């Protein structure tokens, strides 16, 4: 991980995972990648993250195979996409247990138009969890207004993992 000391003394796959995705900003970068953000400047304006830190995080994510760099675009790999249950689960935990302005984004099963459950499954389709590519992002009631180009592009419904148009 980041600090002088990594988690090397820890004997745990969780510690190894945290070395890759546990640093400050990293999971928010990955969340944005699910939303379809792909370019350096779009991550930058949407996250308000220092350029140096963003550059470092994108590099380590590429290095560990979470993102792939294609020209000037950073795209989630299959390894990265497989983080969806964790990202969605943690966001759901925050929504249920932490105070806030309310729901900021909804995830809707594209095929049937139903909002998915907090465990990632579609209540009307039954069966297993919905893959992120089959989800559509809708702004929720609690959404605060940001005026950067990425926030504007995500104002309307947007298919997850497809590039945002800025």
Partner DNA sequence: TCTCCTAGTTCAATGAACGAACCAATATCG
Partner DNA sequence: CGATATTGGTTCGTTCATTGAACTAGGAGA
* Span near a copy of itself by CB under 8 A; candidates 36-44, 68-76, 102-110, 155-163: 102-110
**Side-chain half-sphere of 29: how many Cα atoms within 13 Å?**
32
Q: Which is nearer to a copy of itself, 58 or 83 (CB)?
A: 83
Q: Which is nearer to DNA, 19 or 95 (CB)?
A: 19
CA dist 57 and 23 (Å) reads 8
Using the rule CB under 8 A, is 63 a contact of a copy of itself?
Answer: no
Binding residues vs DNA (CB under 7 A): 2-5, 23-25, 39-42, 48-53, 55-56, 58, 72-73
52 binds, among DNA, a copy of itself, none (CB under 5 to 8 A by kind): DNA
149 binds, among DNA, a copy of itself, none (CB under 5 to 8 A by kind): none
72 binds, among DNA, a copy of itself, none (CB under 5 to 8 A by kind): DNA
Using the rule CB under 8 A, is 92 a contact of a copy of itself?
Answer: yes
51 binds, among a copy of itself, DNA, none (CB under 5 to 8 A by kind): DNA
CA dist 41 and 144 (Å) reads 21
Using DSSP bridges, classify how beta strands 135-139 and 67-70 pair: parallel, antiparallel or unpaired: unpaired
Using the rule CB under 8 A, is 89 a contact of a copy of itself?
Answer: yes
Site residues (CB under 8 A) for a copy of itself?
1-3, 7, 9-18, 20-22, 24, 27-28, 31, 47-48, 64-65, 79, 82-83, 85-87, 89-98, 100-101, 103-105, 119, 129, 143-144, 146, 151
């Amino acid at each position: 991980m980041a600090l002088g000391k990594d988690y090397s003394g820890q004997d745990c796959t969780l510690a190894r995972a945290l070395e890759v995705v546990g640093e400050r900003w990293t999971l928010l970068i990955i969340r944005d990648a699910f939303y379809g953000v792909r370019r350096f400047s779009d991550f930058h304006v949407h996250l308000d993250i220092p350029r140096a830190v963003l550059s470092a995080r994108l590099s380590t994510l590429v290095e560990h195979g979470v993102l792939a760099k294609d020209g000037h675009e950073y795209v989630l790999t299959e390894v990265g996409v497989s983080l969806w249950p964790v990202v969605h689960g943690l966001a759901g935990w925050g929504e249920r247990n932490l105070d806030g302005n309310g729901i900021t984004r909804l995830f809707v099963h594209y095929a049937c138009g139903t909002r998915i459950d907090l465990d990632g499954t579609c209540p009307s389709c039954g069966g297993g969890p919905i893959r992120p590519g089959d989800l559509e992002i809708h702004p929720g009631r609690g959404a605060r207004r940001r005026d950067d180009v990425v926030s504007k592009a995500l104002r309307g419904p947007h298919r997850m993992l497809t590039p945002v148009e800025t």
